[in-house]
Structure 1
């Protein structure tokens, strides 16, 4: 397995509960970590919550100049991890072009531009999502962008070889993203856990373990790691 100690790791859009967990676990492995996000305050809050030293940067993936500036400021990158997402939800007939374009800018085009400018030397890990395999009404754009990420990982694995490129596809994870549901969150989680083969909800620790496996396994590339408790199968 590849050692992370002393390596340079950039975690893009790392301000979520999952991003924070990945950052902490990578820091614990002895890597030098930079967390980026669109909000300086959000990035700073995550950095302060992590035990260990991390660098921060503000990056807008819909702006190539912002990505180029990150590359110039940061220098060589070993491992790139992008959790970037800009959901465009709702019936197709109600979607605005600007919202659709931003979803692709952040999730797909942004990933390409990150690779273009940062030029990681060891691995790239992108985030897809279960809705690509289990689409539902109102999620056409999200399903399409997530699916595009899965194919992008394969294409980049071939083009960037021997740099390894993989995608992670989470299902329902108790990452904090659902907290706005209030009491309805527990019911939704219970319903999901009852239906999926794993009979549980995912945790940030589950996703982080898969990411660390992806970036340290020297024989894993061009693969989508499904972290959904088997929900896409039922």
Structure 2
């Protein structure tokens, strides 16, 4: 039986927008499983800082998903390093929040570039050989006022995973839909605001807690190693979308 360790040993894992708390945890866990990991972001300094914080060797690269030429340059750079991407994971996100009457076209386009257009262009230029994992989000199933763009882009990711699973077969394509995760994304609320958000979320969802970066990382890597899983959305929300 193929084990997760065997699946990752020597494999090339590319984590796009890997400077978040989730991205860093994914990179560390993939390295621990024997993978050769490259993380990318838009700013070289931020990417290098995350890579330096990981135990083990991690390569870095810069890419801007708003610019197809940048994605093509990434493909050229990886080829120069003799890197053939086995597993592509994209956590890219550029939320455009606010009521519809106040949305700006540029912000809407950035959101779609990060989640949808960028994902398509990454696949086009990088041609991953084993799997693609994209990130959606719970708001696609639980829309709220002021979140029309985020709801739509996250929903589009779910359908994009299905379409790519069919078109790229036998390359496996899945989407991950996190709920409230303690990843650093909510730190701007301040300690009091974040604690209240976490407590309210834990009270409402069936799991009775919020998620951790470990929850997300283990689910993503297990999905990548599962050779019969494709065209699926993994809901990592503690059941919050159900209530």
TM-score when scaled to structure 1?
0.99
User: Is 1:138 matched with 2:146?
Assistant: yes
When structure 1 is superposed on structure 2, of 162-171 and 182-191 the one drifting more is 182-191
Whole-angstrom CA distance in 2 between matches of 1:99 and 1:191: 29
**Counterparts of residues 11-26 of structure 1 (less than 5 Å):** 11-26=15-30
Separation in 1 of the partners of 2:95 and 2:203? 26
Q: CA deviation at 1:196?
A: 0.1
CA distances 1:33-76 after superposition (whole Å, capped 9, x unpaired) = 00000111110110011000001011000100111111111131
Matches within 5 A, 1:78-93: 78-93=86-101
Query: Does residue 1:162 correspond to 2:166, yes or no?
Result: no
Once the two structures are superposed, residues 71-94 of structure 1 have per-residue CA deviations (whole angstroms, 9 ceiling, x without a partner) of 111131100000000000000000
CA RMSD of aligned residues (A): 0.7
Partner of 1:67: 71
Moved over 6 A (4+): none
2:160 to 114, 139, 152: 152
CA distance in 1, matches of 2:66, 2:223: 26
For residue 129 of structure 1, report the CA deviation from its aligned partner.
0.2
SS in structure 1 of the partner of residue 8 of structure 2: coil
Tell me the CA shift for residue 156 of structure 1.
Answer: 0.1
How far did 1:113 drift? Answer: 0.2
Residue aligned with 2:109, SS = helix
Per-residue deviation at 1:184? 1.1
Is 1:208 aligned to 2:217, yes or no? yes
Q: Which of 187, 202, 227 is matched with 1:218 structurally? A: 227
CA distance in 1, matches of 2:41, 2:15: 9
TM-score (normalised: structure 2): 0.95
Which residue of 2 is the match for residue 231 of structure 1? 240
Task: Report the Cα distance in structure 1 between the residues aligned to 2:175 and 2:231, rounded to whole angstroms.
Answer: 8
Match in the other structure for 2:201: 192
State the 1:29 CA deviation: 0.7
Aligned residues: 234
